[in-house]
Chain A
């Protein structure tokens, strides 16, 4: 499998606070990687660094062997290929559902209106939001907003999709609809990097799990490795705490 993103020795500090320390991992085509860990472990910051919303302090991000942080690829062009879904949706409030999914295609990718609409409709249908194309974001529920946000990211036809706690801002009954969409995406072969607190998703859908603690990758492996025989005591503790919550 071809490598898409390679992160090497990535570090990020906010003032004197080291949020990420020496992060190394790679994403290959078709990977569905779940990043788990307690709050404050640097998961979201890692994702934001990969999407360049935060500037990494040191280290490298290679996209198809091109050094992104050194400017080997245009920042905006890179972002069109690495989509992002946010915890707080961030749908454009001034635009309808359909326009939310079209504006990037038309203005950034310079696609024709017709092509963009066809493409947008395809993905809106995929997330089950095709009936709502004229609605404004404020008329939608949280789960619906997040599904539109996923369609918006997909409509750019990215190579990788980053999910930053996509279900954390949702009411419990809406979590399922978003996870279902993500499951379908994963099955269709989309390359995904998902920061999540949904352990069932990490265990059942992803092919690799990264456990982060204190800004480091504590353990990385297949879902079976991580969930059935975690090697690190920190991972064990985290997972047992989590099971305790669940039961």
Chain B
């Protein structure tokens, strides 16, 4: 039976049988780039967001204030440029620019990782800034009042709470990255979308190849979003907001027994 005689499902099966290996490899590349770049993007985002929310100390001299201002200006420019231009063009710009202007030939992996991380970082910077601003100012005052420095306050008190607040957005970014790595096909990265183009080009079965690839993309994103949700609820700890007490007289008033082994109730 030739491919033109098959029906829709037979064609999909045929693609899976003949190209399953390449699809799997493409999916693995996509996931690897998405995971690495979301992580690196978060690191960049936290660094940038931290600097953006730093206010100069009252007693700081003009030089320190000036430096901080210039650094903030550069970071703002970075965020605006990378948020404001298509990643596909950024990919072409960096990849081909590096080789033609500087004579540096970035490998497929390093180019892909640089482009997606820097792009994610630009989005994450704003997210982290929002996350930091969302933490109750009282938390900062409490930390300063026991003598913590600005840096200690941020690292031990504010950022952990900001991280929890922006977890949904980090998940969002991961899912966007899984899908958006497809623009890397412009610089020849062999990821899932590139594999789709090869298959459809070889077999002329666009509809079936697209269906298979879409299903794979969906499985990847759906799995990730479920895992992230599970991580979030783990970060929250016991979801019991009842007041804890060991005072038996208070049980009748709606307070529940505090279990000092689990740290939660019951």
Contact = CB atoms under 8 A, between A and B. Distances in A.
**Most chain B C-beta atoms within 10 Å of own C-beta, residue among A71, A94, A109, A138:** A94
B7 to A, nearest CB: 57
B142 A94 contact: no
A93 to B, nearest CB: 6
Interface in A77-108: 77-80, 83-84, 86, 88-96, 103-104, 107-108
B148 A76 contact: yes
Contacts of B149: 76
Given A77-B147, A92-B139, A133-B260, A108 B58 contact: no
A94 B244 contact: no
A96 B160 CA distance: 13
Given A104-B147, A136-B237, A90 B138 contact: yes
B166 to A, nearest CB: 14
Contact of B258 (A89, A94, A132): A132
Interface in B136-187: 136, 138-139, 141-149, 152, 156-157, 160-161, 164
Contact of B246 (A91, A92, A109, A131): A131
Interface in B223-245: 237-238, 240-245
Contacts of A83: 145-146
Nearest to A153: B146
A92, A141, A144, A149 — most chain B CB neighbours (10 Å): A92
Contacts, number: 99
Contacts of A76: 147-149
Contacts of B156: 92, 103, 107
B255 interface: yes
A47 to B, nearest CB: 11
Given A53-B141, A108-B152, A139-B244, A80 B59 contact: no
A134 B246 CA distance: 13
Nearest to A94: B160
A117 to B, nearest CB: 15
Nearest to B142: A90
Given A96-B263, A107-B152, A108-B152, A138 B241 contact: yes
A80 B146 contact: yes
A240 to B, nearest CB: 35
A86 B244 contact: no
A210 B138 CA distance: 26
B245 to A, nearest CB: 8
A139 B157 contact: no
A134 B260 contact: yes
A153 B258 CA distance: 24
Contacts of B263: 96, 134-136
Contacts of B139: 90, 92-93
A67 to B, nearest CB: 14
A104 B241 CA distance: 26
A156 B246 contact: no
Interface string B17-36: 00000000000000000000
A37 B238 CA distance: 42
Contact of A141 (B142, B243, B265): B243
A139 B243 contact: yes
A132 B148 contact: no
Interface string A113-156: 00000000000000000011111101111001000010011001
The 4 closest A-B pairs by CB, nearest first: A90-B142, A80-B147, A134-B263, A104-B146
Given A90-B136, A92-B157, 9 more contacts: A53-B141, A79-B146, A79-B147, A91-B142, A92-B143, A108-B148, A131-B260, A135-B263, A141-B243
17 contacts: A51-B145, A78-B147, A93-B136, A93-B161, A94-B157, A94-B160, A95-B157, A96-B263, A104-B148, A108-B152, A132-B246, A134-B262, A136-B263, A139-B238, A139-B241, A139-B242, A149-B142
